[in-house]
Chains A and B, each alone.
Chain A
Amino acid sequence: MTSILGLILLSLALGVCALAAFLWSLRAGQYDDMDGAASRILFDDQPPKR
């Protein structure tokens, strides 16, 4: 019984972490341009700016 309770709490904690990560990425604007992100990965690196 105790082990079940511990495991449930653990799984919930992991779930909360995932939720927090999602909300962070949302705030950082990572979902603002889904189409662009898909093709951006194919670009060459640009030379660093002076």
Chain B
Amino acid sequence: MTSPVAQAICAHCGGETQAGARFCCGGCAAAFDTINGLGLGQYYARLVRDPTLAPNRPEPTERWDLARCVSTDKSGHHSLTLAVDGLQCGACVWLIETALGREPNVTHSRVNMTTRRLQLGWTGDVADGGRLVGLVEKLGYRLVPFDAARLAAAADRTGRELIWAMAVAGFAAGNVMLLSVAIWIGEGQGMGPAVRDALHLVSALIALPAIAYAGRPFFRSAWAALRAGRTNMDVPISVGVILVTALSLFETLQGAGDAYFDSACTLLFFLLIGRVMDHRARGRARATAEQLLALRHSDVTVIRPDGTTEQRAAASVAPGSRIMVAMGSRIGVDGVVELGSAPLDTSLVTGESLPVLAAPGTTVFAGTINLGATLTILCTASGAGTLLAECVRLIEVAESRRGRFVELADRVARRYAPTVHLAALLTFLGWWGLGHATIEHALLTACAVLIITCPCALALAVPAVQVLATQRLFQRGILLKSATALERLANVDAVVFDKTGTLTVALPELIVDPACNPADLAAAAQLAAGSRHPLARALLVASGPVVAAEAVREVPGRGMALGDTRLGSSAFVGVENPPPADGPELWFARPNRPPMRFCFAEALRPAARETIATLARMRIGASVLSGDRRAAVSTIAGQCGIAAWQGECTPVDKFAAVEAMRRGGSQVLMVGDGLNDAPSLAAASVSMSPASGAELSQTIADVVFQGSGLDAVSETIVVARRAQAIMRGNIALAIGYNVLMVPLAMAGLVTPWLAAAAMSSSSLLVLGNSWRVRK
């Protein structure tokens, strides 16, 4: 928007718009009318726009199969869970819930702002769900359904266990600390040993079961690491907690000396808080790979030689058999079309947004959806032989290799654990052998060393930063799925982009022809309003809201007709010898008027150029790998300012190219959205996928970003680098504190209250430092 006139603010989304105009686009105007039409205009008064979020412009939504995601119980009550994109603040929650609550058959509608999900329940007709979803979409939000089966499988058992452990540890820490303070103060005021021992005993009764229960996540992880011959941060934690507890118990039963139950409980409590937060932050974005299995296990209709049909699992179809694919169903095998012609949605396989017309002789791949008439396909490969399965195999190879990445915290723990345990051993030997102290006293001093070095601050150093950085990115619509993604992102020195759907938006853009008058455009849009075809939707976006024409007949893959008025391909509207097309186009013909042509071009994602420039300033090289024609790739790469590009790549080519870069020593960030990008997403050091991408890509990607701006990529790297620097600072702080305190502990100068104070203060210091990542 470089117009010289002053900018104004759109009344719906708050985005920039030209002076004099109330709205920035037709979608916003329609949403504004809908909201006021429902009498919910107070929404705008309540709305608090988050300036860090992109304006919530209504966009046409993806087509999806509702029936698969609805679950119905015995009493005829349907429920559906949807992911909501575009939530800004509480007012959006209010708007959606109120609008849905007014529908008489809606029994339940609740938006969860944390997970950005809408739970919808209604009675009556299942298909009514489509209308309710449409209602929310009209308000300007984008909805994507969750598979009912997937939701059930994702019940979060680990998270539940962690939070119960945290609650128990918190209870024990609070109560034991209460008793410990009494002991510390009592000792200064001449409390008798009998009272002290009784208080120690009560502490032990609370602490022992609590530690046994709440320590399990750490003990289990430490045991697994030791059995595999490794150490991780949980090993020194477990050893420290168990030793300290055992010795305190021994001291208590002996009726003498100091007990450290309070330190052990507080340590577990602090660490569990960190774990719970970490788990929650990532649990929001954690996706499951079950989607893959669903794709593999679809049934296909096989035509027997005698002409009858049977349903069979896609994997068991022999090459050479004929299968029938009805409208709206997914093709389960690779093959060649024998009979019929229909548009196919190939977005899962190629990432191509426009339907491709398949005619006899066309090669089709498993995973594509038939949008038109029934096709007969001669199967050439099925099950493990399909392109889809090949992609899955490449992904598995790449994922198994990626598991070897060692986290910063574990690298530190590898050196830290032996050092600490050696220091404790030396202390024991020194006091017992050279200092001629009793075994109890020498053991107690060695334990004090373990407590002082117990890596509370160290164990919090990395997760605390991760939690805060993840939260900050989440607010911006960037979901981190992998715990190690931040560390891997911080080291990135090359970014590879896919073109279709990643550098460009999924919907093409109308090239505005000055000769075309708005009335003609509106007339064409009236026909287009009833269609879900991407070009028709793009035309509608360009024209603004129109009244949809009635009784329009749609011929799938060809066009729309209303009497003699036709909108569609050149052949459909009857144009003879059409001029050669540069890109996708629509023709519009009316009686007694010359036919008009609407040309479309791929539109760059917002902020694409700026993002590439920012990356260049950060000394990160960008390149494009695309399956599209060379000419198209060259144009888009040129528009973004990317010099290195490669067109006409198969998924295997992309995988090989990314592998080659990695072998050359680069840390590659792959950004892609299609299934064809999935193998290279898995092969890259770290990967990102837009939320509009194929589900499989989102499952594999470490980071998923919402919204249409590409600047999410550069912002994620900036935050990751900052987080990495702060993590290093935290580790230095924690180790520096140890270097200061360990000599005191080895000299036997540490008492229980000093240990408790020192441990808490170092943890607070590290937490305080971590907050800097939010700025």
Q: Are A22 and B98 in contact (CB under 8 A)?
A: no
* B90-118 Cβ-contact flags toward A at 8 Å (1 or 0): 11011001100100100000011111000
Nearest B residue to A37 via CB reads B113
- When distances are taken between beta carbons in the complex, the residues of chain B under 8 Å from A34 are 114
Q: Contact check, A39 vs B113: say whether CB atoms are below 8 A apart.
A: yes
A22 to B164, CA, bound (A): 9
B175 at the interface (CB under 8 A from A): yes
Contacting pair B171 A18 (CB below 8 A): yes
**Contact in complex: A40, B93 (CB < 8 Å):** yes
Which of A15, A31, A35, A49 is B171 in contact with, Cβ under 8 Å? Answer: A15
A28 at the interface (CB under 8 A from B): no
Please provide the chain B residues from 125 to 183 with a CB less than 8 Å away from any CB of chain A in the complex. 163-164, 167-168, 171, 174-175, 178-179
- Minimum C-beta distance from B200 to chain A (A): 12
* In the bound complex, CA of A15 to CA of B198 (Å): 19
Type the 1/0 row for A15-50, where 1 means its CB is closer than 8 Å to any CB of B: 110110011001000011111101110110010011
With A1-B195, A19-B171, A39-B89: A8-B202 Cβ-Cβ less than 8 Å:
yes
Q: Are the CB atoms of B167 and A39 closer together than 8 Å?
A: no
Contact A22 B167 (CB under 8 A): yes
Enumerate chain B residues within 8 angstroms of A32, measured Cβ to Cβ.
112, 114-115
CA distance A8 to B204 in the complex (A): 13
Query: Is the CB–CB distance between A19 and B167 below 8 Å?
Result: yes
Quick one: which of A1-22 are within 8 Å of B by CB? Answer: 1, 4-5, 8, 11-12, 15-16, 18-19, 22
Flag whether B603 is at the interface (Cβ < 8 A): no
Q: In the complex, how many angstroms separate the beta carbon of B337 from the nearest chain A beta carbon? A: 48
Quick check: A11 and B101 within 8 Å, CB to CB? no
Smallest CB gap from A41: residue in B: B90
Q: How far is the CB of A46 from chain B (nearest CB, A)?
A: 6
Q: Closest CB of chain A to B27's CB: distance in Å? A: 25
Q: B324: CB under 8 A from chain A? A: no
- B90/A23 in contact, CB under 8 A: no
Question: Are B114 and A35 neighbours in the complex by a CB distance under 8 Å?
Answer: yes
CA distance A7 to B296 in the complex (A): 64
B residues near A18, Cβ cutoff 8 Å: 171
Residues of A within 8 Å of B111, CB to CB, are 36
Shortest C-beta distance, B141 to chain A (Å), equals: 15
Q: Is the CB of A39 within 8 A of B171?
A: no
Contact A43 B90 (CB under 8 A): yes
- Within B374-393, which residues are at the interface with A (CB < 8 Å)? none
Which single member of A8, A22, A33 contacts B114 (CB below 8 Å)? A33
Q: Which residues does chain B contribute within 8 Å of A31, judged by CB atoms?
A: 163
Number of interface residues of B (CB under 8 A): 29
Question: How far apart are A45's CB and chain B's nearest CB, in angstroms?
Answer: 11
Which residues of chain B come closer than 8 Å to A40, judged between CB atoms? 90, 93
Residues of chain A lying within 8 A (CB to CB) of residue B8 = none
Question: B206 in the interface, Cβ–Cβ < 8 Å?
Answer: yes
Inter-subunit contact B93/A36 (CB<8 Å): yes
Shortest C-beta distance, A36 to chain B (Å), equals 4
Residues of B173-230 whose CB lies within 8 A of A: 174-175, 178-179, 195, 198-199, 202, 206
- Tell whether, in the assembled complex, residue B206 and residue A39 are in contact, meaning their CB atoms are under 8 Å apart: no
Cross-chain contact B175 with A46 (CB below 8 angstroms): no
Q: Provide the bound-state CA to CA distance between A22 and B178, in Å.
A: 20
Given known contacts A1-B195, A12-B175, A43-B90, A26 and B113 CB-to-CB distance under 8 angstroms: no
Residue A49 contacts which of B46, B101, B164, B199 (CB distance < 8 angstroms)?
A: B101
Minimum Cβ distance to chain A for residue B347 (Å): 32
Beyond A16-B171, A26-B167, A38-B90, whether A33 also contacts B112 by CB under 8 A is yes
Q: A4-B195, A26-B163, A50-B104 are in contact. Are A39 and B114 (CB under 8 A)?
A: no
- B115 contacts which of A23, A33, A43, A50 (Cβ < 8 Å)? A33
The docked-state distance in angstroms from the alpha carbon of A6 to that of B565 is 91
Which residue of chain A has its CB nearest to the CB of B42? Answer: A44
- Give bound CA distance, A26 to B161, whole Å: 12
Contact of B179 among A5, A8, A38, A46 (CB under 8 A): A8
How distant is A3 from chain B, measured CB to nearest CB, in Å? 12
Q: Are B164 and A39 in contact (CB under 8 A)?
A: no
Q: Which residues of B contact A16 (CB under 8 A)?
A: 171
CB proximity of B156 to chain A, nearest CB, Å: 10
For A15, give its contact among B101, B174, B195 (CB under 8 Å): B174
Residues on the A chain within 8 Å of B167, using CB: 19, 22-23, 26
How far apart sit A42 and B43, CA to CA, in the bound complex (Å)? 13
The answer for the CA separation of A18 and B195 in the assembled complex, in Å, is 27
* Cβ distance B532 to chain A, nearest Cβ, rounded Å: 32
- Residues of chain B with a CB closer than 8 A to A19's CB: 167-168, 171
Contacts of B90 in A (CB 8 A): 36, 38-40, 42-43
B113 — which chain A residues lie within 8 A by C-beta?
Answer: 33, 35-36, 39
Question: How distant is the Cα of A36 from the Cα of B179 in the complex, in angstroms?
Answer: 38
Output the least CB separation between B387 and chain A (Å). Answer: 40
Q: Specify which chain A residues have a CB less than 8 angstroms from the CB of B168 in the assembled complex.
A: 19
Q: Is B175 a contact of A11 with CB atoms below 8 Å? A: yes
CB neighbours (8 Å) of B174 from chain A are: 15
B173 CB, nearest partner CB in chain A, Å: 11
Binding site for A on B (CB under 8 A): 46, 89-91, 93-94, 97-98, 101, 104, 111-115, 163-164, 167-168, 171, 174-175, 178-179, 195, 198-199, 202, 206
Q: Could you list some 22 contacts between A and B, CB below 8 A?
A: A1-B195, A1-B198, A8-B199, A12-B175, A19-B167, A19-B168, A26-B163, A31-B163, A32-B112, A32-B114, A32-B115, A33-B113, A35-B113, A36-B90, A36-B114, A39-B93, A39-B94, A39-B113, A42-B46, A43-B90, A46-B97, A49-B101
Seed contacts A26-B164, A31-B163, A46-B97; 6 additional CB < 8 Å A-B pairs: A4-B198, A23-B167, A32-B114, A33-B115, A39-B90, A39-B94
